[in-house]
Each structure stands twice: as structure tokens, then as C-alpha cells.
Chain A
Amino acid sequence: MALVAVTEITKSYQRGPETIHAVRSVSFELHSGQVCALIGPSGSGKSTVLNIICGWESPDAGTRAWKGDKVIDPRTLDWSHIGLVPQRLGLLEDLTIAENIELPLVLLGGNPEDVAGKSGEILSALDLSGLRDRLPAETSLGEQQRACIARALVAEPELVLADEPTGNQDHVRETKVLARFRAAAAGGAACLLATHNPAVLERCDRILEMHDGELVSDTQSDPLAVARADWAPDRTTKR
């Protein structure tokens, strides 16, 4: 059974006299253990698809289903199983980096030792340990992005939705970030990453390509190629 299934979802916007068809009859499924890339040029509808899946927008037509159950009202869904990395990041400016990362665990009622342990581990994995007591405004954009990713992954969600998660990372840290997504998938999560970055594609099990609001291709990656990319992160690849 698919973790997430979107069926014939359509979304349009009115901008004055013009109607913009952001998403046109897109259908696909996400399964546990997969890292999927959602690629396409700017304005192809990638972010809109992510917004629809996470409930920030409602489709004009089509359905979305969570574990086989049709999602009618996003407000009734238990969002604790979903980790989000929006393009705008959205760290709470009054909380430190560590507090931001730990927030999902705190809201879920975790105990202090468990929370400290999990956040410590992911802070270390994403090179954020030295920044734990800084406020977001006191860190770089790349550091904030990694903090946002850590926040999305710390509660071991079942579904991870990330919009351009490596846009502000250098090559080394990009590898670490992608490794965390792979680890999450290995733990059973389904990850959907909207991206332009070729390096990300190498580490994805599946590539969904959008163009002008339509899903034009849905390609399974070569598992060996993905594994090679996992084990040789410093190798520069060309497609």
C-alpha cells in the first residue's frame, strides 16, 4: 500500500484575467523506503504539489490519500508523521537552533533525555553542534537550512517533504544532508525532494519530472547507481 497517493490532482490560480494552471491532473504514489526527486523548471508546479500533499493548499480536483484513506480535511490529519522542509525554511526566530530542532519532539510529548539524545545525534550529523545555542538570525542561510532539515527528520517521520533542501549547501554538507534523507528512507520513511540539483538525483530511487504543471515522467533509478553515489559521495557525476 502506498504511503501517499495523489490522484488526478489539479490546481489553478486566477491572476486577473489570466488563469494559471499550476498542476494538471498529476497522479503518483509514494512508498515507504523511497527517496523520490521531483524535478522540473521553475514554475512547473513542484512546490504546489508539495503544498497540496502537506495540506497547505487544496486541489481544485483530484484526491490525496494517506495510507489508503482519502484526506478530506487536512486539519484532521495527524501531522506528527510528516516532516516538512519548506523553501522558506520557517525556523522560529525566538528559539535557538537546538530548540527549533527539538520542537517536534517537545510537541509530541517526548521526555527530556530522549529529546536531548536524538537532537544531539542529528546536530552532530549535520555539523550543527557548535551552533546549538545560536538564534537563527545569528546563523547563515545554509546552517538554517540544515537546521530545518534536522527539525524535519528528528521525529523520524513517515513522510518527508522537502523543497530545494540542498540549495544553500556546499558539496560536503550536501552529501551529509542527502545521507540523512537516505537514512530516513532506510528507516521506512518516504522522502519527496523537489530539486534542481543533479547531485540529488543521483541519490534518489525515483525521479518524477514535471513540466508546465504536468507529470511528464516517472523514472525508477538504477539501484546500483544510487548505491554507488551513496558510497562514493565525493565523486563528481555528470548526467
Chain B
Amino acid sequence: MRTLWLRAPFMWLRFPVGALATLFVAAITAMTAVTSTAFLASTEEGSLREGIEPNRWVAGYRIGFPNYLSTELFRQGIEFYEAFLGEATEFLDERFADLPYVGKAHLNIVGTPMVAASGNESINLRPVVRTDAVRHVTRLEGNGTAGAWLSDGAAAELGVGPGDDVELIFESRRATIEISGVYKHLAAEPPRVFWSSLSPYVYRDPGQEYDPPPLLLMDLPTYRSVLPQLRDVGGVSVDVPMVETEMSLAEAERIAATFESTLAAVSSTGPLAGETPSFLFRAADSSTSMYGIVSSARERLTTVTPVTEVLSAGARVVALALMAAAGFFLVKRRRTEVAVLAARGIGPFAQASRLGLESLMPLLVGSTIGAVGGFLLVEVLGPARDISFGLLTDALPDVAVTVGAGFVLLVLTAAVAARREEQAIAELPASVSATHWLVGGVVIAAAAGSIAWRMAQDVSGADADALEDPWITAAPVLMILGIGFLAAGLFRFALPFVARVLRFRIPPLYLSARRLSGASMLTQVLVIAGVWSLGIAIYAFTVSASIDATADAKSKLFIGSDFSALVTDVRTVDSVDYSPATGVVRVERMPLNNGGDVAILGVNPATFADAAFWDSSFAEKDLHALMDSMKGSTEAPLKVIATADLGPEPAFESPSGTVELEVVAIVDSFPGQPSNKDMVVMTRGALAYAQAEMGASSGAARPQIWAKGDRTEIEAALSSSGFSYYQALDSETVLETPGLQSLLWMLGLLAALGGAAALIAVFGLLLYLQARQRAALVSSALTRRMGMSRRAEFVTWSGEVAGALLTSLLAATLIGVQVSNLMKDRLDPRPELLPQPILVVPVTLLLGSLACMLVLSVVSGWRIRSAIDRADVAEVMRT
């Protein structure tokens, strides 16, 4: 007996199937313990990255000093002024020296626009000093980065190049500088984040008629050399960028707090403190979006945490159930040995403890794999691109507790199973009756379904609500579990009928069906686990794809296309150097003769259909046909398209006039349609006519450009052709609320957990079916002697595996998609916007899963048949 115990920790080498099963189950248990910690950390880092990455300078710190400060300091002497410039950057560098992820201070001196002259030519330009400026432009001529650099347009106008002198004239004062190089005009290139602090001096403001004067970029020594002559001290600011976008919330909070306290410190410990009156610094203005980014990340974390914890708890329950099943499985595999030892007086608990000892090594290895795997899963799929490996060590106590609990359960169920063997009860009913599964399934599914149904009806529209309520995640998961039980019951109920149908038609598949219908409880549990986990994964993928598609459709419908921007004159759009693009005119309200009012959209029928967002569900006719139906209408009755019935003989009506309308089509939705008002669509010519007739009664017109394609490409094309626009929107960002992002991340985690659990369940099922190989050898030895061919044998074993796997997949697909259909309305990110939530079924994923399962079935069948071919049948029949 002592030998048994001493050998126990190494016995897993002799029973690899049991060891593998334990390893897999321990892996998923550890994975569930790690993923929630890692996901929350990833959410934290991802939220921060989202806020910082678009503009590291805006997220960083900027302090701008008032002009009178510079003037005062310069008045005290140029050395004093120079000292201030140096100390301003040093002050911030020292202040932020201990902060991680914060870059060095960049000095900015923005001069007053002045004249630059060369020969008979002269232009206006603005001298600017910015640390590292020339490293962040496209250098066309000149070497290095020192000296004074002119934009290509300005250089061409003045007829100068590197080495030429240019005279600067400010008021009546003059200075001469040598041009060191020529760079590409910044406004002629896609915007660079580096220049965002000085964007008002680079890009035209909305409503401005002219571009800002080109910048003369100077390094500090060059600026210093002309300062005594020109005496233009400029506006001084210093900004500090964030150089890293991924950090923990604690780190970000520390950075934000330091930023916040810096402004207060400027007047007491800032540049030249003590040497100058502090009142000169009190008017310094500081800006950073870091505090807002941190608040937003904290809020998102608060929102996501309850749901993550619910998911994690649910996943742990599943994992612990699998651990318990593993205990039962281990005893079943060695029932003869257990029976013999029981006969020698070794009690069930001792037997179970011995099996537990045997399982320790696979448990440890599996836990390690699962913990690392869970961490990597979140790193790959989570919101943050990179999470600290230290999180893994933080999660270790949690892993130890969860796996430890699983180990205890494993030993307990093994003890129960050993006790039953001792009492010579063959096993738990070889097949828990279909009735039990059906009843259990109905109860759970009904309970969860009623909750889900109630929530689906109660569409409040606040996306934060959807996440704060853990039931929004728990109810569908429970419902899927319940329906999974139902599916198992139906599976067992239907199989005998299937077997009877197949019996004389396809005998090998008849045998498959009969074996499955008599499947042990462990097989049924594995099938249910497969249905449940696959169902969760499919539900999560379907809902997230649907929410993504819905949000995309809503945003495109809201703004009209992929990209929209305001323009000064809509006619300029007709000749824009980008396609597909179209010019539209929006009017917020136009009064109708029925007492109501509508929004108006004036379109160019020639280009609108190609550039606007359209879905076939919006109307019976396609957009091209609708545009054709309005063409040529420039006088009353104006041909229009309406999003609602305008009544008999509709017309715009006001004290100024009446314009009859002819409604050529009524549509369900139309691009650009406001959420709170019906809309009438007409040609721009018709709109101009209506506005002329209606006078001041019509609302203000807003001309826009709509374009399809990638925003970056569109803006690059527009900028390069000098096209002016402002207040640009794109469909990707307009609905990106923190709530929506968090929801999509949560669904991603749910899908990942479901997918991982499904993989484990599928492999568990395959392992178990492989473990039945020995029984397969005996039955195959005989069926071969009854006339069953090798090919038929392959069909029967593949059929059994395929039956179990494909049943799981089919049930999971039906359940997952239906539950998604039920829940999608509740998860609508903006229910007040059209269109209604769209259901998108991840067909590629499903077909891929189906293909994988078919391959698994074929490989399993081939492996079993190969084992049968190689087996020593006589030996098998003897033992």
C-alpha cells in the first residue's frame, strides 16, 4: 500500500488520457481566474490609450504665458528674457522628471506676422520657434535642422533658397537672416500631431477666408540674433507631450495630479520665481486633457467591472463543474482497479486522495498553461495592446484559490464515484433520462428567458445602463445554458428515431446514432458543455457584430456617408478632386401646410447616389432610381422624396408664400435624416427655388460635402487640392462613446471565454471518445466479421464524433443567434437614431467552425480505424 502512495504522484505517466483531461480542465479553471483581472487591467490601459493616442500633445501639458510677461521680461533686458525662456523649459522638465511616459518640454515662441522681403518681392509670414520644429516637416532643400527655414510657397514667391538672405521687417524695424532650408508647407500635407499646439497658425479656421501666413521656422539662436533688432518677443508657451500611451490608471492619475498642481506652482516656484513679481505668472494658462482622460477611464472601469465579475464568476462555476466531472471520469477510467483496491479494504476517500495525488502534476502544468494562456488571450483580444506581465503574478492568489477549490471538488467527486463502485452500482444511470434534461432545461431557460424578455422590452436607451446591469450579461448566458440542457434532452430523445430511420438505409450511421443515444452521462455533460460554451461564443460574436453593424449604419445614416464636413459654398463640391463625393444643403426646418415642419435635404442627383450611404431596407426603389425621379424639378410642384406621409396636397406654407410639392416616393429612412424630425429630399435647384419663395420662413442652410472612403485619404485629397472645409465628421468616430466601446470589449471577452471553453469541451469530448477506443476494438473485431467493411467502420466512428460535435454546433448556433436577436434591441447604442438594430450572423465564423468539426470528425474516425487495424484483436478478446 505504501508503494501505491509513493508512486501516486508519478502515475499520471501511465494514464495519459486521464492526465490530459485533468490538465485541460485545470487550464480552463486557471484561465477563468486570470482573465477577469487581466481584462480589467487591459480595459484600464485601453481606455487611457484611446484618450492619449489621438493627440499626445493635447493629452500632455501645455502652459502659455501672457504676452505682457514676455514684454516685461524683455524690457528688463534680453539676457533676462533669454533666462526666462531657458528656465521655463527647465522648470517643466524638472517638475515632470519623475513622471513616467512624459516627454521633454518643447518651447514655442510665436511671433507677430511681419513682412519678409527679397529683392522686389515681399510676403507676409510669421516667425515661429518650436523645439525640434524642422524634424517634423518635410524638408525639400537644405541640410541639418538649424537656422531659419522657409515654406516652399513662401520661398517660391520670394525667389530664394538655402543660402539666400531675407530681410524681415516688423513695424519700422529690420533684420536680415540667411535661409538655411525650404520645407513643404504644412497646410499642404495631412495634419501632423506635432503641430497641433500651433494649429491655429497653420490651418485655416472655420469661417476664415484666407490661410494663415506661412511660418518662418527658426531655432532659438537664430531668433536670438534678430530679437534685438526686431524687438518682437512673441507669445511664449511650453508644451510637454505624452510619449507613451499605455499605462496603468494609477500612473495616469499621478501624472494628471502633477499636471494639475503645476499651474499653481508656476507663480511660486516657476521660472525666475523670486526675481520677478509673481503676479506676472498668475495669468499663465495651462491646459491638459489628461485629467479628463483619467476620469473617462475610471468611469469606464467602474462600468465594466460588475459585468466582468459576473462573467468571471459564471466561467469559474463552469470550470469547477468540469473539475468535478474530471474526478468522476478518473474513477470511471480505472473502475476495475478501484474495485480491486476496494476489495482490499482501501476506502473511497483514500482512493480519491490517491487519484488526487496523481492529478497534482497535470493540475500544476494545466494551471500554468491556463494562467499564461488567459493572460495572452486578454493581451491579444483585449482593449490594450500590451499589458504588464506583473498582472499575472497579481492574479496568482486568485488562480491558486480557484484551482485549489477545483482540486478539492475533484477529490470529493472521485470519492463519491469510488463509493458507488464499491457498492457495485454500475454507474449513475447510463443515460440520465431525456425527461430530466428537458425539465431542467425548461426551468432554467424559462427563468432566464423571462428576465431577458423583460429587459429586451425595457429599452431605455442609455448605453451605460446596459453595462451597469450585470443581468444584461448573465441572463442570456443562463438562457443559453437552459436551452443547452433542452438541446441535450432533445438530442437523446431524437436519436433513437434517427437510428431507426438510418438502420436499413445507412447501417454504419445507424450504429453511430445508437451509440450516441446510449451515451454515458459524461458524454452528455460534455455535449451540454460544448453547446453552452459554443452558444456563448456565437451569441457574443453575433451581438458584437450586430452592434458594430448597427452603430456603423446609424452613424452613416446620421452623417449621410463615411465623411462629412461643412463648406462655405456647396458649388465648390461639384468640382472637388475626389470621388465619390457630393454636395448637399441641409435646412433644419421648413413649415408645411399641415401645421408641422420638416427638415430639408437638397441634393445633386448626379452625384448623390454614389456618395451617400444606402441600404436596400430604406426604400423599395434603389437610390439611383429615387434620384432619377426628382431630376429636372426646379419649379412648383416640386418633386420630393419624403420620410413620412405629408398628407394630401402637401406644400411648404408660410406668410411669405406657398410652394406645392409632389411626393414621388415615401421612404423608411434616408441618409442625413435627423432623429427627431421627418425629412423632405429635393434637388438643390428645387431647394433654392423653395427658399426664394419662402423667404425668411425657411431655416438657415448648411452646405456640406459628403464623401465615401477612408477619412485620411479623403482629407489628404481635399487638402492637396486646396479645398476648404471645416467641422469634419466621420462614421467611425461619431458614435464612439465610452459605453459602446466598453460594451464591445465585454462582448469580445465573452466571446473569447466562450471560444476557449468550447475548445476545451470539444477536446474533452474527443478525448472521451478516444478513451472508448478499447470498447471500439472489441465491437469492431466482431462487426468486421459480420461483413462491415473498413470504409463503413470509418463512417460509423466519424459519424459518432460528428454527431456529437455537429449537434453541439447546430444547437449552439440556433440558441446563440436567437438569444442575440432577443438582446440586440436592449444593447442598441443609440435607440433614438435610425435604423433599428441590425442582426448580423457571423457566417464565416460558423462555416469555419463547421469545417473544423468535420475535419476533427474525419481525423478521429481515421485514428480509431487505424488503431483497430493495428490492434492485436486476439489479445483484446482475451483480456
- B786 surroundings in chain A (CB, below 8 A): 79-80, 103-104, 107-108, 151, 155
Determine if A112 is an interface residue (Cβ-Cβ < 8 Å).
yes
Given known pairs A57-B874, A108-B787, A135-B518, the reply for A90 and B775 (CB within 8 Å) is no
Determine if B373 is an interface residue (Cβ-Cβ < 8 Å).
no
Q: Which of A50-109 contact B (CB under 8 A)?
A: 51, 54-57, 75, 78-80, 82, 84, 86-88, 90, 92-95, 99, 103-104, 106-109
Q: How far is the CB of B790 from chain A (nearest CB, A)?
A: 7
Q: Which of B319-327, B509-517, B684-692 contacts A (4 or more CB under 8 A)?
A: B509-517
- B787 surroundings in chain A (CB, below 8 A): 78-80, 104, 107-108
The reply to whether B514 and A95 contact each other, CB–CB distance below 8 Å, is yes
Q: How far is the CB of A154 from chain B (nearest CB, A)?
A: 10
Nearest B-chain residue to A94, judged by Cβ: B518
Determine if A137 is an interface residue (Cβ-Cβ < 8 Å).
yes
Q: Which of B481-511 contact A (CB under 8 A)?
A: 503-504, 507, 510-511
What CA separation (Å) do A107 and B780 show in the bound complex? 13
The reply to whether B518 and A107 contact each other, CB–CB distance below 8 Å, is no
- B782 surroundings in chain A (CB, below 8 A): 84, 86, 90, 92
Nearest B-chain residue to A88, judged by Cβ: B877
What CA separation (Å) do A94 and B788 show in the bound complex? 17
Q: Which of A147-171 contact B (CB under 8 A)?
A: 151, 155
Nearest B-chain residue to A99, judged by Cβ: B514
The reply to whether A79 and B778 contact each other, CB–CB distance below 8 Å, is no
- Chain B 23-45: CB-based contact to A (< 8 A → 1; otherwise 0): 00000000000000000000000
Determine if B545 is an interface residue (Cβ-Cβ < 8 Å).
no
Partner of B781, one of A47, A90, A106: A90
The reply to whether A79 and B877 contact each other, CB–CB distance below 8 Å, is no
The reply to whether B877 and A87 contact each other, CB–CB distance below 8 Å, is yes
What CA separation (Å) do A103 and B430 show in the bound complex? 22
Determine if A111 is an interface residue (Cβ-Cβ < 8 Å).
yes
What CA separation (Å) do A51 and B872 show in the bound complex? 11
The reply to whether B518 and A111 contact each other, CB–CB distance below 8 Å, is no
- A86 surroundings in chain B (CB, below 8 A): 782, 877
Q: How far is the CB of A159 from chain B (nearest CB, A)?
A: 11
What CA separation (Å) do A82 and B781 show in the bound complex? 13
- A90 surroundings in chain B (CB, below 8 A): 778-779, 781-782, 877
- A108 surroundings in chain B (CB, below 8 A): 786-787
- B515 surroundings in chain A (CB, below 8 A): 94
- A48 surroundings in chain B (CB, below 8 A): 874
What CA separation (Å) do A108 and B790 show in the bound complex? 14
Nearest B-chain residue to A48, judged by Cβ: B874
- Chain B 463-486: CB-based contact to A (< 8 A → 1; otherwise 0): 000000000000000000000000
Nearest A-chain residue to B510, judged by Cβ: A106
- A115 surroundings in chain B (CB, below 8 A): 504
What CA separation (Å) do A188 and B504 show in the bound complex? 28
Given known pairs A56-B874, A93-B775, A94-B515, the reply for A107 and B507 (CB within 8 Å) is yes
The reply to whether A111 and B785 contact each other, CB–CB distance below 8 Å, is no
The reply to whether A92 and B784 contact each other, CB–CB distance below 8 Å, is no
- A84 surroundings in chain B (CB, below 8 A): 782, 785
Q: Which of B731-788 contact A (CB under 8 A)?
A: 775, 778-779, 781-788
Q: Which of B421-441 contact A (CB under 8 A)?
A: 426, 430
Q: How far is the CB of A73 from chain B (nearest CB, A)?
A: 12
Determine if B873 is an interface residue (Cβ-Cβ < 8 Å).
yes
- B511 surroundings in chain A (CB, below 8 A): 92, 95
Q: How far is the CB of A97 from chain B (nearest CB, A)?
A: 13
- A155 surroundings in chain B (CB, below 8 A): 786
What CA separation (Å) do A10 and B27 show in the bound complex? 52
The reply to whether B873 and A56 contact each other, CB–CB distance below 8 Å, is yes
Majority secondary structure, B binding face: helix
- Chain B 511-528: CB-based contact to A (< 8 A → 1; otherwise 0): 100110110000000000
- Chain B 778-802: CB-based contact to A (< 8 A → 1; otherwise 0): 1101111111101010000000000
What CA separation (Å) do A104 and B782 show in the bound complex? 10
Q: How far is the CB of A100 from chain B (nearest CB, A)?
A: 10
Given known pairs A88-B778, A93-B775, the reply for A75 and B514 (CB within 8 Å) is no
- B430 surroundings in chain A (CB, below 8 A): 137
Q: How far is the CB of B168 from chain A (nearest CB, A)?
A: 97
What CA separation (Å) do A187 and B779 show in the bound complex? 28
Q: How far is the CB of B335 from chain A (nearest CB, A)?
A: 14
Given known pairs A88-B877, A95-B514, the reply for A79 and B503 (CB within 8 Å) is no
The reply to whether B518 and A93 contact each other, CB–CB distance below 8 Å, is yes
Nearest A-chain residue to B782, judged by Cβ: A90
What CA separation (Å) do A87 and B785 show in the bound complex? 15
- B783 surroundings in chain A (CB, below 8 A): 92, 103, 107
What CA separation (Å) do A94 and B782 show in the bound complex? 14
The reply to whether A137 and B877 contact each other, CB–CB distance below 8 Å, is no
- A104 surroundings in chain B (CB, below 8 A): 786-787
What CA separation (Å) do A76 and B498 show in the bound complex? 32
Q: How far is the CB of B270 from chain A (nearest CB, A)?
A: 86
Q: How far is the CB of B871 from chain A (nearest CB, A)?
A: 10
- Chain B 248-260: CB-based contact to A (< 8 A → 1; otherwise 0): 0000000000000
Given known pairs A56-B781, A88-B778, A93-B518, the reply for A111 and B877 (CB within 8 Å) is no
- A111 surroundings in chain B (CB, below 8 A): 504
Q: How far is the CB of B793 from chain A (nearest CB, A)?
A: 11
The reply to whether A94 and B503 contact each other, CB–CB distance below 8 Å, is no
Given known pairs A90-B781, A99-B514, the reply for A106 and B507 (CB within 8 Å) is yes
Q: How far is the CB of B338 from chain A (nearest CB, A)?
A: 18
What CA separation (Å) do A79 and B515 show in the bound complex? 23
Q: How far is the CB of B67 from chain A (nearest CB, A)?
A: 92
The reply to whether A107 and B874 contact each other, CB–CB distance below 8 Å, is no
- B518 surroundings in chain A (CB, below 8 A): 93-94, 135
- A88 surroundings in chain B (CB, below 8 A): 778, 877-878
What CA separation (Å) do A137 and B425 show in the bound complex? 12
- A94 surroundings in chain B (CB, below 8 A): 514-515, 517-518
Nearest A-chain residue to B792, judged by Cβ: A107
Partner of A92, one of B426, B779, B792: B779
Q: How far is the CB of B41 from chain A (nearest CB, A)?
A: 50
Max count, chain A CB within 10 A of own CB: residue among B515, B779, B786, B877: B786
What CA separation (Å) do A111 and B401 show in the bound complex? 61
- Chain A 167-191: CB-based contact to B (< 8 A → 1; otherwise 0): 0000000000000000000000000
- B788 surroundings in chain A (CB, below 8 A): 107
Nearest B-chain residue to A50, judged by Cβ: B874
What CA separation (Å) do A55 and B787 show in the bound complex? 13
What CA separation (Å) do A109 and B781 show in the bound complex? 19
- B779 surroundings in chain A (CB, below 8 A): 90, 92
- A137 surroundings in chain B (CB, below 8 A): 426, 430
- A99 surroundings in chain B (CB, below 8 A): 514
Q: How far is the CB of A148 from chain B (nearest CB, A)?
A: 9
Q: How far is the CB of B469 from chain A (nearest CB, A)?
A: 46
- Chain B 852-879: CB-based contact to A (< 8 A → 1; otherwise 0): 0000000000000000000001100110
The reply to whether A75 and B874 contact each other, CB–CB distance below 8 Å, is no
What CA separation (Å) do A227 and B510 show in the bound complex? 43
The reply to whether A79 and B507 contact each other, CB–CB distance below 8 Å, is no
Q: How far is the CB of B784 from chain A (nearest CB, A)?
A: 7
What CA separation (Å) do A11 and B696 show in the bound complex? 112
Max count, chain B CB within 10 A of own CB: residue among A47, A57, A75, A90: A90
What CA separation (Å) do A137 and B430 show in the bound complex? 11
Nearest A-chain residue to B786, judged by Cβ: A104
The reply to whether B503 and A106 contact each other, CB–CB distance below 8 Å, is yes
Some 16 contacts from A to B, beta carbons below 8 A apart, are A51-B873, A56-B873, A57-B874, A84-B785, A92-B782, A93-B775, A94-B518, A103-B786, A104-B786, A104-B787, A106-B503, A107-B507, A107-B788, A108-B787, A109-B504, A151-B786
- Pick the 5 closest A-B CB pairs, nearest first: A80-B787, A94-B518, A104-B786, A56-B873, A51-B874
Q: A88-B877, A90-B781, A106-B503 are in contact. List 4 more A-B contacts (CB 8 A).
A: A88-B778, A107-B786, A109-B504, A111-B504
Residue positions of B touching A, CB distance < 8 A: 426, 430, 503-504, 507, 510-511, 514-515, 517-518, 775, 778-779, 781-788, 790, 792, 873-874, 877-878
